[in-house]
Amino acid sequence: MPPADEPTLPEGCDYLVGVDESGYAYDTPELSIDVGQTVCWIWEDESMAHNVAQIENEGDTTRMLGGKYSGMSMTSVDFRVTFDENQTFLYICEPHATMDMVGKVIVGTGVMEVVDEPEEDSESNSVPGFTAGLSGMALAAAVIMFGGRKTEL
Name the percent of the chain lying above pLDDT 90: 66
Q: Tell which wins on pLDDT, 129 or 19.
A: 19
- What distance in Å separates the CA atoms of residue 12 and residue 74, rounded to the nearest whole number? 22
> Edge-to-edge, what's the strand order for the sheet holding 15-17?
15-17, 38-43, 77-82
Residue 28 clears pLDDT 60, i.e. is over it: yes
Is residue 118 a part of any domain in this protein?
A: no
Looking at the domain assignment, is residue 27 inside a domain? yes
Q: What is the pLDDT of residue 132?
A: 65
With contact defined as beta carbons under 8 Å apart, do 83 and 48 qualify?
no
Q: Where are the beta strands (DSSP E) in the chain?
A: 15-17, 30-33, 38-43, 53-55, 77-82, 87-92, 102-107
* 150 occurs within a structural domain: no
Q: Which residue has the higher pLDDT, 120 or 103?
A: 103
Q: What is the CATH number of the domain that holds 74?
A: 2.60.40.420
Q: Is 120 a domain residue?
A: no
70 in a structural domain? yes
The count of structural domains within the chain is 1
Range of the domain at 102: 15-107
This prediction has a pTM of: 0.71
Residue 121 lies in a domain: no
